[in-house]
Chain A
Amino acid sequence: MKVIQSDTSIVKIAFSGRLDSNYVSNNEVKFFACLNGLEAPVVLDFSEVSFLGSLGIRMILMALKEVKRQGFTLKIENADPNVKYVFEMTSLGDLLL
């Protein structure tokens, strides 16, 4: 994962590869550290994400709760059709930009 932009207008974080259980255990702490003391809405760039598993969804849901708690929104952009399908299947399609 990589922070693309983080200022008072937007916090943009790009994920890449497979958002599976191994990915989540390796990146979760770093990701949540980026969500501390937000000053802007969060956008997650999924253009390089090839796979999304349930632990990936779980991480996104936890992030969503944290971002909402701080009064901001969290959205996902550029998800490929297979990844979109997983969001839609779990009725999380409204997170997609």
Chain B
Amino acid sequence: MNCKTLLVKNQMLELNRVVAYLDELGEEWELSVPLVFSLNLVVEEALTNIILYGFDDQLEHTIEIDFKNDLDQLYITFIDDGIAYDPTLKEDPDISLSTEDRQIGGLGIFLIKKIMDKVEYKRKENKNFLILTKNIIV
């Protein structure tokens, strides 16, 4: 099993570093280009939610992102010490509505659920754990 950890601060500019990191990870683990694109989307959505809505103070926080790859599954775990929030409980936006009637927002977690095969949430020791699994059997 391959494991890698990336630590980021709760600042939006950190996303640029994360993008570069994911590109390197994709090369190192020989992931397909569409898969790396999907992971980019998922990681950006999850991280944006945590950075923008996860903290109720102005302090600097560190968010841990663990990547694991056991050949047929890829796991991404986000660990933060922000306020307790379970994004899996959020209702999906109604995408059957016509485009002009569509609600704006709420698409982030929906995209994560669409792309990943499993989305789990746990609260342990005052920390949020968001665990995403993608089957990568080719």
**Could you list which residues of chain A lie within 8 angstroms of chain B, going by C-beta atoms?**
18, 20-22, 25, 51-55, 57-58, 61-62, 64-65, 68, 81-82, 85-86, 89-92, 94-95
Q: How far is the CA of A18 from the CA of B12 in the complex (A)?
A: 14
**B interface, size bucket:** 20 to 34
Q: How far is the CA of A18 from the CA of B114 in the complex (A)?
A: 21
Q: List 30 A-B contacts (CB under 8 A).
A: A18-B19, A20-B15, A20-B19, A21-B15, A22-B12, A22-B13, A22-B15, A22-B16, A25-B12, A51-B40, A52-B41, A53-B41, A53-B48, A54-B107, A54-B111, A55-B48, A58-B105, A58-B107, A61-B99, A61-B102, A61-B104, A62-B104, A64-B99, A65-B104, A81-B34, A82-B33, A82-B34, A90-B107, A90-B110, A92-B99
Give the total number of A-B pairs whose CB atoms are below 8 A apart.
Answer: 61
Q: How far is the CA of A89 from the CA of B92 in the complex (A)?
A: 13
Chain A residue at minimum C-beta to C-beta distance from B36: A82
Looking at chain A's contact residues, is the secondary structure mostly helix, strand, loop, or mixed?
helix
> In chain B between 20 and 76, which residues have their CB closer than 8 angstroms to a CB of chain A?
33-34, 37, 40-41, 44-45, 48
**Could you list which residues of chain B lie within 8 angstroms of chain A, going by C-beta atoms?**
12-13, 15-16, 19, 33-34, 37, 40-41, 44-45, 48, 95-96, 99-100, 102, 104-105, 107-108, 110-111, 114-115
Chain B residues with CB below 8 A from A21, complex form: 12, 15, 44, 48
**Nearest chain B CB to A50's CB is how many angstroms away?**
9
Chain B residue at minimum C-beta to C-beta distance from A50: B37
Chain A residues with CB below 8 A from B41, complex form: 51-53, 86
Q: Is the CB of B45 within 8 A of A53?
A: yes
Given contacts A21-B44, A54-B108, contact A95 B99 (CB under 8 A): yes
Q: Is the CB of A64 within 8 A of B114?
A: no
Chain B residues with CB below 8 A from A81, complex form: 34
| Of B95, B107, B114, most A-chain CB atoms within 10 Å | B107
| Of A53, A57, A86, most B-chain CB atoms within 10 Å | A53
Chain B residues with CB below 8 A from A64, complex form: 99-100
Chain A residues with CB below 8 A from B114, complex form: 89
Q: Is the CB of A82 within 8 A of B15?
A: no
Q: How far is the CA of A91 from the CA of B94 in the complex (A)?
A: 10
